[in-house]
Amino acid sequence: MADELRADSCHDGNYCDKPGTLLQSFVPEGKTLFPEVFQTSQLLFYERFQVYQDYILADCKASEVREFTAEFLEKVLEPCGWRAVWHTNVFEVLVEVTDVDFSALKAVVKLAEPYTCDSEVSTFTSECMKELLDLKECRLPLQELWVVFDDSGVFDQTALAIEHVRFFYQNIWRSWDEEEEDDYDYFVRCVEPRLRLHYDILEDRVPSGLIVDYHNLLSQCEEKYREFLNLRSSLSTCKSDSEQENISMVEGLKLYSEIEQLKQKLKLIENPLLRYVFGYQKNSSIQAKGTHPNGQKVTHVVSSSMKTGLLWSLLRDKFCEESCKEEMEIQFHSDPLSAINACYEGDTVIVCPGHYVVHGTFSIADSIELEGYGLPDDIVIEKRGKGDTFVDCTGADIKISNIKFIQHDAIEGILIIHHGKTTLENCVLQCETTGVTIRTSAEFLMKDSDLYGAKGAGIEIYPGSQCSLIDNVIHHCKEGILIKDFLDEHYDIPRISMVNNMIHNNEGYGVVLVKPIIFSDLQENNQDETEENKALKLKTSVETDTTVKVDLEELIQCTTGKVELHARADLSEQAEGNYEIVNEIVIASTQKGQMRKKRLSELGITQADDNLMSQEMFVAIMGNQFKWNGKGSFGTFLF
C-alpha cells in the first residue's frame, strides 16, 4: 500500500516528505466533465491483505471493526481540503470535503465550484442537490467518495484509505458479522478467506457455477437476515406471553436456523481448503442427442491430414470386417472437439496419431467410444485456454482409450463423470488441478492408465459412486486418491475396487478419507451450550456411539471378501497400505450404520439390526503398491 503507507506513517500519523504521487489516475468512462480521480481499485491481493492485517483490523473482534477502522482513518486521512466525486447508482456530483466524522465513517461536504453533476435524470440541479445534502446533513459515507487526483502525493494515503474502506464494506463485511461471537480473530476467521475467494474469482480459479452458487447463497442469507431483523423488531411491540409473540418466536427460531445453515454453506465456499475437500456439486446441463434420425451409427475419423498409408491402415484395421456385413457412414474431422460435438448415441470417434490443441470442453452426453488409433504418446489432445472442465461425461456408457490428455490453466479436473458409466483404458492424464472426479451416482472404470501432476487429488470419489481402478499408476499429485465424506445420512457408501495399482510419489497420502469429527470427541467442549444452540449445529456434529462391538478382523474379511490378512508383524509396506485402508473405511462404515440406527431410534422407528458385513465399500482391494508418498499410504482428513 503505497510503500507500506509511506513506511509506517500510519503509526504516528505524519506524512513523509516524498514529493510526487505514487498512484495512477483515470477518468470514469463517459464522464469527461469530471476531473481525473485516483486509480485505486486495481490493488493486488497481498497489498490489501497487508493493510487489513497490519494497519486496520489487526486482532480485532467482529464488534470492534468500526472502531478499529475509525482509528486507522484518523491516522492517515486528510481531515479537509480535498475534492471527491460522490458516486451513487443514480448520479455523480463533484463535492469538496470540509471535515471528517471518523467514528461514523462519513465526510462532511459541500458542492464544489463550479457545479458538476452527471445523471440520467435531468432534474438534478444545484438547488436540488443542495436540498439533498441538507437532508443528509452534508454527511456522506466515505465509501461513496472517489478522491480527485492530485500529483503532489499529499492525498495518496487519503485515496488509498478510502479505497480500503470501500472494498471492505462492498466485498468483505456481511450485515450479520457484528452479531457473530467475539471469541475469535475476525481477520483470520472472516476477512482472509473472503479476500482470498475474491481474488481466486478474479483470477479464474473458481468454477463459474460455484461463483453463481456463492452469490445466490449470499443473496438468500441477506434476505433471510433482513426478515429476521424485522421479526425481532416486531417482537418488541408484542405483548408479553401473547399468542402473536409465541408465533413470532417460533418463526424467528426457524429463520435463525435457516440463516445458520446458509452461513455454513458460505463458509465452506470461502475456505479454500474446504472448498477443495467438499468440491462443487455441479449439475451438468448437457443434453443427450439420442440416436441418429436415420437410426444408423457413424464412425468419426479425426486427423489433421490424411495420407494414403494411414487410410489403408484404418480400412484394414477398423473397417474391413464391418464393411463386409453392412454399409457404414464415415465422417472426417480435423480436430477431436468437432468430432465429439457431431456424435450421436452409439457413434465411434477414432483419433489418428497427432498433437491436437483444443480450446473448448469435451461434453459427452451420449454413449460413444473415443479411441486413439495407436499408442497414447502418439495421440495427444492438449487443452489450452481457461475453462471449467476438459472432459465432461454424462452418457450412460462412454469408453475412452489410447489417448493422452494434457490440461493447462484449469479450474476443475481433467475428467468429470457426473452420472452414467465411463471407462478409461490405456490412457495418460497430465493434470493441472484435480485429475478424475466421480460424482455421486456415477460409475468409473480405469485400467492400465497413467495419471500425474494434479495439484489436488489424482482421483476424487464422491459418496454413492462406483469406482474400479485396475493396473494404474497414480503419482506426483497432491493426494493420490481422495474419498469424500459419506457419513451424512443422505449419502450412500461408495463402492470401490482397487487392484494392482501403483500409487507413489504423491505429496500427501496415497489414499485419504474425508470424514467429520465425531460428536463425542467434541462433547467436552460443548457442555455449556443450550439445547437450542445444539440444534443449530452442522449435521456433521451429530452425536454417535463410537464403540464398535463388531470384531474388526472378521468385519474386514467379510467386507472385502478378497483381502488376505497377514500378521501385522509380517506386513510389507504395500500390504500394510491395503490393510490400513480397509481397516479405516470399515470403521467409518460401521459408524455410519450406528448413526443411522440411532436417528431411527430417536424417531421411534425400530428395525432389525443391519448386517454391517453387507455394507461393502470395497468390492476388492488387493495387490496395490504404495511407495514414497509424503505422508504415508493412508490418512484421514477430519473436519
What are 282-312's pLDDT values in tens digits?
555 568 889 988 888 999 999 988 888 888 8
pLDDT at 350 over 90: yes
The mean pLDDT of 566-586, rounded to a whole number, is 58
Share of the chain above pLDDT 70, in %: 74
Q: Answer whether 464's CB lies under 8 Å from 458's CB.
A: no
The mean pLDDT of 389-416, rounded to a whole number, is 90
pLDDT at 527 over 90: no
pLDDT at 120 over 80: no
pLDDT at 360 over 90: no
pLDDT at 561 over 50: no
For residue 515, what pLDDT is reported?
Answer: 72
The mean pLDDT of 325-352, rounded to a whole number, is 91
For residue 571, what pLDDT is reported?
Answer: 47
Q: Answer whether 392's CB lies under 8 Å from 364's CB.
A: yes
pLDDT at 8 over 60: no
For residue 476, what pLDDT is reported?
Answer: 95
**Residue 325's pLDDT band (boundaries 50, 70, 90)?**
low
pLDDT at 542 over 80: no
pLDDT at 596 over 90: no
The mean pLDDT of 316-327, rounded to a whole number, is 70
Burial category of 52 from C-beta neighbours within 10 Å (exposed 0-12, middle 13-18, buried 19 and up): buried
Least confident piece of the model among 67-76, 233-242, 564-573: 564-573
Residue 107 vs residues 53, 95, 98, 129, 175: alpha-carbon distances, Å: 25, 10, 8, 16, 22
Closest to 251 (Cα-Cα) out of 226, 232, 237: 232
Distance between CA atoms of 47 and 143, rounded to whole angstroms? 18
**Residue 621's pLDDT band (boundaries 50, 70, 90)?**
confident
Q: Which residue has the cell 455410519?
A: 592
3-state secondary structure 338-403: HHHHCCCCCCEEEECCEEEEECCCEEECCCCEEEECCCHHHEEEEECCCECCCEEECCCEEEEECC
Q: Residues for the chain: how many in total?
A: 639
Share the mean pLDDT of the chain.
Answer: 80
Distance between CA atoms of 402 and 336, rounded to whole angstroms? 14
CB within 8 Å of 6: residues ≥ 6 apart:
15, 16, 18, 156, 157
Instruction: Find the radius of gyration of the CA atoms of the chain.
Output: 31
**Residue 12's pLDDT band (boundaries 50, 70, 90)?**
very low
pLDDT at 136 over 80: yes
Closest to 34 (Cα-Cα) out of 80, 95, 120: 95
pLDDT at 387 over 60: yes
For residue 572, what pLDDT is reported?
Answer: 55
For residue 493, what pLDDT is reported?
Answer: 79
The mean pLDDT of 86-101, rounded to a whole number, is 92
pLDDT at 560 over 50: no
Closest to 76 (Cα-Cα) out of 168, 157, 8, 166: 157
More confident residue, 237 or 340: 340
The mean pLDDT of 197-209, rounded to a whole number, is 81
Closest to 633 (Cα-Cα) out of 487, 435, 479: 479
Q: Answer whether 422's CB lies under 8 Å from 442's CB.
A: yes
pLDDT at 540 over 60: no
pLDDT at 21 over 90: no
The mean pLDDT of 83-110, rounded to a whole number, is 93
pLDDT at 424 over 70: yes
The mean pLDDT of 81-87, rounded to a whole number, is 94
DSSP state of 456: S
Distance between CA atoms of 482 and 197, rounded to whole angstroms? 23
